[in-house]
Amino acid sequence: MLTAAFFDTTQQNVLTADPTNIAFSVQTGEARVRGFEFEARGSVTRELEIVGGYSKYDPRVTKSNDGFVGNYLVNTALEQASLWAKYTWYDGPVAGLGIGGGVRYVGESFGDAANTILIPDYALFDATISFDFKYLRPDLKGWSAQINATNLTNRYYVASCVTSFAYCGLGAARTVLGTVKYAWN
């Protein structure tokens, strides 16, 4: 399956500085985002699924009381991409086992309205392992377990900023989450 989207959206009533008191904001600003997104997903074989996507954005301030018209929107990545693959065994001694992995890329963004703080791009690697218990015994149909790990390399990266580096937030460290679930079918 292939999907693509081209867009040109405008948001009105965005907060901008109040011309009579810069300590306050008024809803008279405007922002526009143009770009495209593309995604491809499918099964290469019965066992192997692949999903990949790419997005490119041009997020701009189009109306502002504080002189930032034409600047990029704060904390909006200029491009993003991802690629994910999962292999699941349906036959043999490991039937029901699935393993997967992928990469997520987030492009550069700006951490302030003046576009003086550049937040660097980063790539994160993720993985999963899952098991469908119905392949062990038919009476366990509906039960499954999964372990997901994000940011496998425990990369240190800046996820977003408010107004300056003193107010930037770091991205999530390596995270491992296990789940067991039952689905009624």
Task: Pull the structure tokens for residue 171.
Answer: 């991205």
In angstroms, the CA 168 to CA 111 distance is 8
Q: Which top CATH class is 2-182?
A: mainly beta
- Report the candidate in 58, 10, 17 with the shortest Cα–Cα distance to residue 31: 10
In angstroms, the CA 64 to CA 71 distance is 10
pLDDT tens for 88-140 read 999 999 999 999 999 999 999 999 889 999 999 999 999 999 999 999 999 99
In the chain, where are the structural domains located? 2-182
Can you give the pLDDT at residue 185?
73
- Residue-wise burial string across 131-156, b where 16 or more C-beta atoms lie within 10 A, e elsewhere: bbbebeeeeeeebbebeebbbeeeee
Can you give the pLDDT at residue 165?
59
pTM: 0.87
Can you give the pLDDT at residue 18?
84
In angstroms, the CA 181 to CA 94 distance is 20
What pLDDT band is residue 158 in, cutting at 50, 70 and 90? very high
pLDDT tens for 162-179 read 865 568 899 999 999 999
- Residue-wise burial string across 59-89, b where 16 or more C-beta atoms lie within 10 A, e elsewhere: bbbeebbbebeebbbbbbbbebbbebebebb
In angstroms, the CA 82 to CA 72 distance is 23
The strand pairing partners of 50, in sequence order, are 42, 85
Can you give the pLDDT at residue 151?
98
Task: Pull the structure tokens for residue 161.
Answer: 């900023």
Taking the CA atoms of the chain, what radius of gyration do you get in angstroms? 22
Contacts of 15 (CB under 8 A, 6+ apart): 25, 26, 27, 29
In angstroms, the CA 97 to CA 90 distance is 8
Can you give the pLDDT at residue 19?
85
Residue 78 has pLDDT above 70, yes or no: yes
- Residue-wise burial string across 116-125, b where 16 or more C-beta atoms lie within 10 A, e elsewhere: ebebeebebe
Rounded to the nearest integer, the mean pLDDT of the chain is 94
